[in-house]
Each structure stands twice: as C-alpha cells, then as structure tokens.
C-alpha cells in the first residue's frame, strides 16, 4: 500500500525525527536522495535550479553540490536574494554554481521554489519561471512537490509548475496522487528519509500490485476448502431496462467475475430471459441475497427497487439511475457504496461537474459524511471515501477504461465483493483497482470494451491474490 500524508502530519513527524538526529541530517538525507534520483542528468549539461526562500530551496542547493561533483553545471535563480538558505547557497557556490538573473536555454530544470510550505498559486518571478517552463519544456524535476499546487487539497491554481517527475521526501502528498494536481507532478518517486515510524495515519492510500493478501483477508471463506456458493455469498443485481438492456448484461458480467458464489437477477420477465440466455449461471428467481446492486441502466422503477433492497437490510451498491437525491435516505443504516461519476456526484451535491472535477477529494469526502456511506467517485483516479477511514485513490487503468458500460461492470464487481464479505470501503477500492488492472491486461495501451474488461477480471483477480500481478499503475514515465 502506498500512502500520502497531510502537511501538518509531515511537519510533526519531521520534528519528532529531527529531535533524534544531528542538526541538518534530514536535509542532508533529502538532498543526497534528490541528487541520486537525478543521476540521469549527464555530466557537462547545465541544470537551472529555481530556488525559493525555504528549506525546499535548501534541499536543491545541497543537491547542487553532488551534481557539481559529477561534472554537471548548475545555474541558480534566486526568488529573493535576501531570503535563501544561506548555508546551502554558500555550499553550492563553493562547488561552482553560478547565480543567473533568469532561466534561459537550459534543458534541465529543478523546481525548488516552494515545497510543503507552499500556498497555492504563483506570482511575480515564480510565475514567470513557471511560464518559462511551460514555453521551453526543459526536463523538469519538482523537489518534493511542484510549486503552486494545493499540497493537501490536490487542487490546481491559476499558475503552477508542471514537472516531468517529482522527487518526494519521506511520504507522498495528496497532490502527487489525486487529480487534478497529480497531473502537474509527472512520475512521483519517494526518497526514504526515515520519517516512516513518526508518521500518523495516512490521508490517502493507494493499493498496489502486491496487496493481494489484503484483499484475501476480506474473504474468510478463501481459507476454507469446504466453502460453497452460499458461504461465498449471493449478489443481487437490479439493473437494466428496456432502453438499456446492455447494462444488465455488463453488470451481471462484472458480478460473475467477482468473488460471490451466485448472481441473482431481479428484472422484468423479458429482461431476465435475455440475461439468462447469455449467462446461464444466473438465477432469475426471487430469493435471499447478501448484497444488492441497484441502478445501472435502471428504468422508472428504480425508486421501488432501492426501497426493496434497503428493506432487505443487506449492504447495497447504488449506481447510475439510483443516484438521485429523491431515492437516497437521509443517512444509510445499512453498509452502502455509492458509485457516482463527477456529473452524478455534482447532481447529488447540487453543484457543477466542473467544481467536482476541480476538487474531487473534498467533494467525495463531503458526500461520504453527508450520507454516512462509502462514496466511490469514478474518474481517471477513482477515489473511495468512507467516514473514519483513509480515502483510497486508484492508480490502475488508463484512459482507455473511459468506455461505455465500464461503470456497469464496476458496479457488478463491487457488489460481488460486498456480497462475498468485504466492507464497502474494501469492496469499492479493490473493485476499482481490479477493474483498472483488468482493462490494462485486456489490451495494454489500446482500446477495450466493457465486456473485455469483465472477461479479463478473473485472471487479474487470480494474479492479484497470488502476488504475480504486473505493474498496472497508470502513471506516466
């Protein structure tokens, strides 16, 4: 599991760690790690370092000493000559770094304007430097975080640095993992400075390929060779309509590919007949279920289906047509997983889609608290928020997953994990992870259909549990 922390928690951990170390040791570790991570800059090349007033600038100045040692030339642009890490500057200059008025022509750049002490937005010289980067496209490495973004909120501002990679110290920050700010950080890498034991609970978590054991822990029956279809759980699917019959098939396909032992379909006679024709394992007779999925491709009777599902007292996944304010209770008293995309969440929170997309973290958290439910906000970096738990951000998949019907498969899969014993937070986050990973497996780097994703799920799940899943993160390198 990869984790990110809030700035206040990072500062507290830094203080606790620094108290156990000689003066300056933390910055030594950070700057050495930074220099090692930029060892691809060839000797003889010139790197321009954009130096701000705080310790972020200090990190870069000490890293300059290592770079100069190996024959890289260093130009320094100082944001404010009266406010700069003085010892760092002296060390860099002693090693041969030159102060220059402004960046011009260098092909390599280190953004050390602001780190975790940043207020969002850039002005004056800092804004001019960000514009220079945007116009001239040097290979840019951000130190700890790209300058100008909202570090905790993961929001973008009117002016910020867009980096090719970010070298982060101690832990990830929300802005390096969640949209939209992650788009400014490029490929994020971590330098271990020993902060780990001093860090508190993460603000954000991301599942990784080797977290299959965490998923297996959700399903006690996996350890029981005598488990049967009912001990694995039955997932009820109330999806599809005359207009959107395909949603029923895709939601069922997602559910069948998951962990539950049986899929029960609830729909009109005509639709049930079509579903069973395509998937003969599906039971289209009434009976007990351990979780309901309601809403994908749903028709006029969605309100009644939700009422019936909630009356069953089992966990529910509510998706698509079920995500209307009038259908939702004031607060859920069964475990509930809501799976909106940005437009649907905007409708529920009475705001615009653009506002959700500009600040997904705060909107998904607000919705989870408002309904006392788990809310899975679909998008390029799907978020899963539950009151009292660290929000999870999904790193698997690629833009090819944005295809019609993919959400129906996801809802069915999440319902299947819920019925099989996972709580909504795990069901939602493992479903998003597997769904993204399956889309990459189905056709790496190219188009997939929602049916392809469903078809790739069983092998993806087997690989994940066995710990043999390839790297399926979407971040650009």
Residues at the site binding ligand ADP, with contacts judged by CB under 6 A: 341, 378-380, 382, 397-399, 401-402, 404-408, 410, 435
Dist. CA 269–CA 259, nearest whole Å: 26
Q: What is the DSSP letter of 281?
A: T
With CB under 5 to 8 Å by kind, the binding choice for 56 among ligand ADP, ligand NPW, none is ligand NPW
441 assigned to a ligand binding site: no
Q: Whose Cβ is closer to ligand ADP: residue 260's or residue 410's?
A: 410
| Residue whose CB is less far from ligand ADP, 150 or 379 | 379
The 8-class DSSP code of residue 315 comes to -
Q: How far apart are CA 62 and CA 87, in angstroms?
A: 9
Beta bridge partners of 165: 141, 187
Considering CB distances under 5 to 8 angstroms, the limit depending on partner class, which of ligand NPW, ligand ADP, none binds residue 115? ligand NPW
Q: Is 105 annotated as a binding residue?
A: no
- Concatenate the DSSP letters of all residues of 14-70 into one string: HHHHHTTS-TTHHHHHHHHHHHHHTTTSPTT-EEEEEE-SSHHHHHHHHHHHHHHHT
Distances (CA, A) of 342 to 39, 204, 275, 352, 409: 40, 19, 29, 9, 18
**297 assigned binding-site residue:** yes
Find which of ligand NPW, ligand ADP, none residue 410 binds, CB within 5 to 8 Å per kind: ligand ADP
Given the complex with ligand ADP, which of 273 and 404 has the nearer CB atom? 404
Task: Check: CB of residue 140 under 8 Å from CB of residue 34.
Answer: no
Nearest-approach distance from CB 62 to ligand NPW, in angstroms: 9
Residues in touch with ligand NPW (CB under 6 A): 10-11, 14, 26-27, 30, 52-56, 59, 114-119, 121-122, 143-144, 169-170, 193, 195
Handedness of CA 59, 62, 68, 70 (dihedral sign): negative
Nearest-approach distance from CB 473 to ligand NPW, in angstroms? 24
CA 168 to chain centre: 16
379 belongs to an annotated ligand binding site: yes
Please provide residue 463's backbone torsions phi and psi, each rounded to the nearest 5 degrees: -60, -40
Instruction: Quote the least distance from Cβ 337 to ligand ADP, whole Å.
Output: 13
Closest approach of Cβ 108 to ligand NPW, in Å?
19
What minimum distance in Å lies between the beta carbon of 465 and ligand NPW?
36
Nearest residue relative to ligand NPW (C-beta): 115
Annotated binding-site members: 247, 297, 341, 378-382, 407-408
Annotated binding-site members for AMP: 378-382, 407
């Amino acid at each position: 599991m990869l984790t990110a922390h809030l700035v206040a928690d990072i500062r507290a951990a830094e203080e606790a760690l620094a108290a156990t170390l000689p003066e300056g040791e933390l910055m030594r570790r950070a700057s050495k790690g930074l220099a090692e991570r930029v060892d691809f800059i060839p000797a003889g090349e010139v790197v321009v370092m954009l130096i701000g007033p705080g310790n972020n600038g200090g990190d870069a100045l000490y890293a300059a000493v290592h770079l100069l040692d190996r024959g890289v030339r260093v130009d320094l642009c100082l944001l404010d000559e009266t406010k700069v890490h003085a010892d760092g500057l002296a060390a860099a200059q002693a090693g041969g770094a030159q102060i220059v008025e402004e960046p011009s022509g260098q092909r390599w750049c280190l953004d050390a304007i602001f780190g975790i002490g940043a207020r969002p937005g850039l002005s004056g010289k800092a804004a001019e430097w960000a514009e220079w980067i945007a116009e001239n496209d040097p290979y840019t490495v951000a130190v700890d975080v790209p300058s100008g973004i909202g570090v905790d909120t993961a929001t973008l501002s009117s002016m910020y640095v867009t980096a090719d990679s970010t070298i982060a110290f101690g832990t990830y920050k929300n802005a390096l993992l969640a949209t939209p700010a992650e788009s400014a950080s490029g490929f994020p890498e971590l330098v271990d400075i020993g902060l780990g034991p001093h860090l508190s609970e993460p603000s954000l978590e991301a599942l990784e390929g080797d977290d299959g054991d965490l998923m297996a822990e959700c399903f006690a029956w996996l350890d029981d060779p005598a488990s049967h279809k009912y001990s694995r759980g039955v997932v009820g699917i109330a999806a599809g309509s005359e207009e959107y019959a395909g949603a029923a098939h895709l939601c069922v396909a997602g559910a069948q590919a998951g962990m539950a032992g049986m899929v029960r379909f609830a729909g009109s006679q005509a639709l049930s007949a079509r579903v069973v024709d395509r998937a003969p394992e599906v039971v289209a007779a009434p009976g007990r279920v351990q979780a309901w999925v309601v809403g994908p491709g749903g028709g006029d009777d969605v309100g009644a289906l939700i009422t019936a599902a909630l009356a069953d007292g089992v966990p529910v996944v509510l998706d698509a047509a079920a995500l209307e304010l009038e259908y939702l209770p004031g607060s859920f008293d069964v475990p509930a997983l809501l799976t909106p995309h940005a437009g649907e969440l905007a409708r529920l929170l009475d705001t615009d889609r653009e506002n959700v997309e500009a600040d997904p973290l705060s909107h998904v958290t607000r919705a989870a608290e408002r309904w006392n439910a788990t809310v899975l906000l679909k998008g390029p970096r799907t978020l899963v928020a539950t009151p009292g738990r660290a929000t999870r951000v999904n790193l698997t998949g690629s833009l090819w997953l944005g295809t019609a019907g993919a959400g129906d498969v996801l809802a069915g899969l999440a319902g299947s994990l819920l019925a099989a014993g996972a709580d909504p937070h795990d069901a939602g986050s493992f479903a998003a992870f597997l769904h993204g990973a399956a889309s990459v497996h189905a056709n790496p780097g190219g188009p997939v259909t929602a049916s392809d994703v469903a078809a790739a799920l069983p092998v993806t799940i087997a690989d994940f549990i066995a710990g043999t899943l390839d790297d399926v993160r979407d971040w650009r390198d």
